[in-house]
Structure 1
Amino acid sequence: MVSGKNDPNTPPIVSLAAGGVAGGIEAFTSYPFEFAKTRVQLRTQKGIPTPRNPFLVVTQVYQNEGLRALYKGCAALVVGSIAKDAVRFVFFDTIKQAFADPQTGTLSPLRNLAAGMTAGVVASITAVTTTERIKTALIDDARNERRFRGGYHATQVIWKEHGLPGLYRGFVGTTLKQASATAFRMGTYNILKDFETTRNIPQNTATNFANGSVAGVVTTLCTQPFDVIKTRSQSAQGASTAEAVKSVLIDYGIRGFWKGTTMRLGRTVFSGGILFTAYEAAVKIINPLYSGVKHTAASEA
């Protein structure tokens, strides 16, 4: 489980499966907020204001382009989130054991953040950068050229035109975002959970959701600049990290690095609660099943 203490009853395979389930649920249920946030962060024509209310963006897209457009890039994000959160949870659960105090089995706040940062880097390399690139390119392409018929077609086109580097466009920004976001999200959640454990506060669905939502707020406010740079880098045409930073400064100045904060908060508050609640629930279901299969296999052997 995601907690400050080692849990020998949650093997890596269970963390992997539960993280994947939680990631898929979280990505699908919160995607309209992600769509709205990405639309706002991409470049628009000068003089055309962009709304801060995510519900207004979603409504406008639905009215002008239909429901299908609103979920453009969703499949790429869901697939990426399944892989991303499976990797993040299994690596975080594994890494935190190495970082834990050998006497108490708990992690200090700094070690919680360090474990989360390490897990975020691994997730960015193995799953996040490529799927985020496809998702962002699809959302951007739907506004203008409409060259991409779907996620698979977008992958083919980007690979043909730019090769593997094209799929890893925005790697620096994505890795910075993932390292910091995972550190703050996982770290904050575990710090809150450790505190509650010492105060004998029961860990139930409501507590898990509240902790996840708080972790989402902290993560968003601390990592928004990296998210803006990542989005600009991964537009349909693509841009280097330096070009992305320059374009944000030209368009909006320093304040531009927090473009889409309201949109992202709408998603992360909700998705943070969903993610950790779904993970804890999935562990409770999968762990006994895995233990039963393992016990049966051992008996037959």
Structure 2
Amino acid sequence: MTTVATKDNNTQPPPPWKSLVAGGIAGGVEAAATYPFEFAKTRLQLVDKSKVASRNPISLVLRVAREEGIKTVYTGCSTLVIGCTAKAAVRFLGFDSLKNLLSDDSGKLSGGRGVLAGLGAGVLESVFALTPFETIKTALIDDAQRPSPRYRGFVHGTYTLVKEGGVGAIYKGLVPVTLRQSSNAAVRMGSYSFLKQKVQAMNNDDPNKPLSGATTFLVGAIAGIITVYTTMPLDTLKTRMQSLESKKEYRSTLHCAQRLLKEEGVRTFWKGTTPRLGRLVLSGGIIFTIYEKVIAIL
């Protein structure tokens, strides 16, 4: 993920504040650049199987833009940008800290330890940043497709949710979010770190030497592809549990999974894969590239 530090040479890992700042900047830029994919994925996951609706993310975005206005396509975008800035800052800070603890004397991180560091980073970002912002974003998108939307934006939506349901209302879905994000971070950060070290080894590069921008983007994109297909079921469960109707529909995350499997089939767990794949391939390339560049500048 980040520049791998050799513990016994002069190159040191980035200090915590650099990881925090670089991660936050990378997360915010990535979220804004890829939001239409996130909007399409969430809309697809909120559509019941019995309803007739296009499953093509591009068609969905174009139809919504045409019928409801381009502004609707960016419903919840500010929430996601703020949330991604916070969660990426926590994720990179957590991963770098855990990586430095788990790396060997040469500064290298084994595949298993990379996954473990990513897992820990995912838990931290889920609890401290991701869950409330994901809940608010999902509620805003769900509300926007109703005949008479209630929420006027991020601030009003957050205020209304907390006023009516308490702080717990924005922590709805904490379990599926943590499951999804810990596995997501474990796979994404672990695979990126592993692939980066393999490329450095192939080129006989020092483990502290950053990859080129193009190579970083490619490695990040591949890590994104791996992440999508391994964690999509948890993402679908997270979205369903954060929908406005979840309290009426599901007793727990397990009950939600059982109902989806029984009523909509196993394929529904991968509903929204295409837009999420588009987003994570781009975001994987963008976020790691920007992170590495900002770290170098700082």
Query: TM-score if structure 1 supplies the norm length?
Result: 0.90
Matched positions, count = 284
Please state how far the C-alpha of 1:46 moved relative to its aligned partner. Answer: 1.6
> Which residue of structure 1 lines up, in the alignment, with residue 286 of structure 2?
274
SS at match of 1:236: coil
Q: 2:165 aligns with which of 162, 165, 177?
A: 162
Q: How far apart are the structure 2 equivalents of 1:137 and 1:98? A: 38
Please state how far the C-alpha of 1:263 moved relative to its aligned partner. Answer: 1.4
Query: What is the identity, as a one-letter code, of the residue corresponding to 1:57?
Result: L
> Which residue of structure 2 lines up, in the alignment, with residue 121 of structure 1?
123
Q: 2:178 aligns with which of 158, 175, 178?
A: 175
> Which residue of structure 1 lines up, in the alignment, with residue 39 of structure 2?
35
> Which residue of structure 2 lines up, in the alignment, with residue 86 of structure 1?
89
Query: What is the identity, as a one-letter code, of the residue corresponding to 2:297?
Result: I
Are the aligned partners of 2:151 and 2:157 in contact in 1 as well (CA < 8 Å)?
yes
> Which residue of structure 1 lines up, in the alignment, with residue 245 of structure 2?
237
User: Which 5+ residue runs of structure 1 have no aligned equivalent?
Assistant: 287-301
SS at match of 1:156: helix
Please state how far the C-alpha of 1:238 moved relative to its aligned partner. Answer: 3.5
Q: How far apart are the structure 1 equivalents of 2:263 and 2:26? A: 36
Counting only pairs closer than 5 Å after superposition, residues 52-131 of structure 1 correspond to structure 2 as: 53-101=56-104, 103-131=105-133
Please state how far the C-alpha of 1:166 moved relative to its aligned partner. Answer: 1.0
Q: How far apart are the structure 2 equivalents of 1:238 and 1:156? A: 19
Q: 2:265 aligns with which of 253, 258, 272?
A: 253
Runs of 4+ in 1 over 3 A off after TM superposition: 3-7, 237-240
Q: How far apart are the structure 2 equivalents of 1:259 and 1:62? A: 21
> Which residue of structure 1 lines up, in the alignment, with residue 211 of structure 2?
203
Please state how far the C-alpha of 1:244 moved relative to its aligned partner. Answer: 2.9
Question: CA distance change for structure 1 residues 284 and 162 in 2, over 3 Å: closer, same or farther?
Answer: same
Are the aligned partners of 1:5 and 1:107 in contact in 2 as well (CA < 8 Å)?
no
Q: How far apart are the structure 2 equivalents of 1:228 and 1:14? A: 33
Q: 2:220 aligns with which of 212, 216, 221?
A: 212
Please state how far the C-alpha of 1:4 moved relative to its aligned partner. Answer: 4.1
SS at match of 1:242: helix
Q: How far apart are the structure 2 equivalents of 1:176 and 1:91? A: 17
> Which residue of structure 2 lines up, in the alignment, with residue 136 of structure 1?
138
Q: How far apart are the structure 1 equivalents of 2:256 and 2:159? A: 24
Please state how far the C-alpha of 1:265 moved relative to its aligned partner. Answer: 0.4
Counting only pairs closer than 5 Å after superposition, residues 11-22 of structure 1 correspond to structure 2 as: 11-22=15-26
CA RMSD of aligned residues (A): 1.6
Q: How far apart are the structure 1 equivalents of 2:53 and 2:220? A: 32
Q: How far apart are the structure 2 equivalents of 1:189 and 1:177? A: 18
Question: CA distance change for structure 1 residues 257 and 66 in 2, over 3 Å: closer, same or farther?
Answer: same
Query: What is the identity, as a one-letter code, of the residue corresponding to 1:2?
Result: T
User: Which 5+ residue runs of structure 2 have no aligned equivalent?
Assistant: none
Are the aligned partners of 1:114 and 1:183 in contact in 2 as well (CA < 8 Å)?
yes
Query: What is the identity, as a one-letter code, of the residue corresponding to 1:216?
Result: G
Query: TM-score if structure 2 supplies the norm length?
Result: 0.91
1:221 and 2:233 are equivalent in the alignment: no
SS at match of 2:246: coil
Deviations 1:132-153 (A, max 9, x none): 0000000000111411111111
SS at match of 1:60: helix
Are the aligned partners of 1:4 and 1:193 in contact in 2 as well (CA < 8 Å)?
no
Query: What is the identity, as a one-letter code, of the residue corresponding to 1:91?
Result: G
Q: How far apart are the structure 2 equivalents of 1:113 and 1:153? A: 38
Are the aligned partners of 2:122 and 2:186 in contact in 1 as well (CA < 8 Å)?
yes
Q: How far apart are the structure 2 equivalents of 1:283 and 1:211? A: 18
SS at match of 1:148: coil
Q: How far apart are the structure 2 equivalents of 1:245 and 1:161? A: 27
